Amino acid sequence: MSRKRIALLRQILLFALFTFLGLATNYVASESHPPAGLRLLGQSSLPLAGGIAVAIIAVMIWQHREEEREDAGPEWDSDRPPFPGLEAFTEQDAGVFFGRAAETTELLDRLHPAGAGLGHRLIAVVGPSGVGKSSLVGAGLLPRLAQRRRKWLVVPAFVPEDDPVRSLARSLAAAGRGSAASITATLAGDPGGLAACIEELRAACGRPGPVLVSRS
């Protein structure tokens, strides 16, 4: 479930509680001997109603600020050309990258879901060569990840070439302080080597948050 839907659900629940409080208060006012619980509810209806109204307004303000923060695009450096030619768009080109908002949001929701345990450890962006897969990740997803409060540690995208393990090791080494040769040995010799390398990378960079490993 997306954050916008969760925020909307919160507003609906608060509004329903506000409505129930109003109905209960009217019932208490119209009955000469209401139940004790409803009578107590009626006596405290004014502060409760005020608190619920404040909560509704706070949720709406929070949602609006979240949408503004997530929708704010990066500033564009006017000294850079707006088209990278045959190269993929990167984070530096994010200011002129558009048309993939829906796909970017979907990737972001999969990597950073609203509910715990709903994240995807492996996401495949598949398509024919030249359709913009690398640009979607580089200029669409990565700048949005950078806006998150829980900062991601992004490993430079690796190109498998003729030796995928060595290429991945070079990217992991570039992101941290390890040796590409030692990382290659770890990846090649242990089925769980990648997880171990990621933990070492977190420790070396002092970043306990999530790590994004991608390939071009």
Residue with the larger pLDDT of the pair 75 and 192:
192
Whole-number Å distance between alpha carbons of 79 and 184: 39
What mean pLDDT is predicted for residues 67-72? 57
Domain final residue, candidates 148, 165, 193 = 148
| 156 and 127 belong to one structural domain | no
Residues spanned by the domain of 213: 150-216
Q: Say if 76 falls within a structural domain.
A: no
| 136 and 157 belong to one structural domain | no
| 160 and 192 belong to one structural domain | yes
Q: Which two tokens stand for residue 140?
A: 């669409």
Quote the pLDDT of residue 43: 60
Residue with the larger pLDDT of the pair 70 and 203:
203
| 126 and 158 belong to one structural domain | no
Quote the pLDDT of residue 166: 92
Over residues 10-67, the pLDDT tens digits come to 667 767 776 766 666 665 556 666 666 655 655 666 566 666 667 767 777 776 666 6
Residue with the larger pLDDT of the pair 149 and 151:
151
Domain final residue, candidates 96, 113, 148 = 148
| 142 and 184 belong to one structural domain | no
CB 136 within 8 A of CB 125: yes
Residue-wise burial string across 11-37, b where 16 or more C-beta atoms lie within 10 A, e elsewhere: beebeeebeebeebbeebeeeeebeee
Residue with the larger pLDDT of the pair 78 and 167:
167
CB 94 within 8 A of CB 116: no
Over residues 120-143, the pLDDT tens digits come to 677 888 888 888 888 898 888 988
Residue-wise burial string across 90-117, b where 16 or more C-beta atoms lie within 10 A, e elsewhere: bbebbbbbeebeebbbebbbebbeeeee
Q: Say if 78 falls within a structural domain.
A: no
| 160 and 128 belong to one structural domain | no
| 181 and 202 belong to one structural domain | yes
| 62 and 91 belong to one structural domain | no
Q: Say if 144 falls within a structural domain.
A: yes
Quote the pLDDT of residue 103: 92
Q: Say if 175 falls within a structural domain.
A: yes
The rounded percent of the chain whose pLDDT value lies above 70 is 64
User: 200: pLDDT confidence band, cut at 50, 70 and 90?
Assistant: confident
Phi, psi of 186 (to 5 degrees): -65, -45
> Residue 187 pLDDT > 70, yes or no?
yes
Quote the pLDDT of residue 129: 84
Q: Say if 77 falls within a structural domain.
A: no
Quote the pLDDT of residue 167: 92
What mean pLDDT is predicted for residues 81-102? 81
Find all residues with CB under 8 Å of 74, minimum gap 6, and list them.
91, 94, 95, 143
Structurally, how many domains does the chain consist of? 3
Quote the pLDDT of residue 170: 92
Q: Say if 16 falls within a structural domain.
A: yes
Whole-number Å distance between alpha carbons of 19 and 65: 26
| 203 and 170 belong to one structural domain | yes
Residue with the larger pLDDT of the pair 173 and 51:
173
User: 88: pLDDT confidence band, cut at 50, 70 and 90?
Assistant: confident
| 87 and 142 belong to one structural domain | yes
| 139 and 110 belong to one structural domain | yes
| 156 and 185 belong to one structural domain | yes
Q: Say if 63 falls within a structural domain.
A: yes
**Residue 78: burial class (beta carbons within 10 Å; 0-12, 13-18, 19+):** exposed
Whole-number Å distance between alpha carbons of 37 and 51: 19
Beta strands in 52-199, from DSSP E residues, in sequence order:
153-154
Residue-wise burial string across 152-171, b where 16 or more C-beta atoms lie within 10 A, e elsewhere: bbbbebbeeeeeebbbbbbb
Domain final residue, candidates 130, 148, 166 = 148
CA torsion, points 97, 103, 104, 105, in degrees to nearest 10? 140
- Which of 119, 124, 157, 165 lies closest to 138 in space, CA to CA? 157
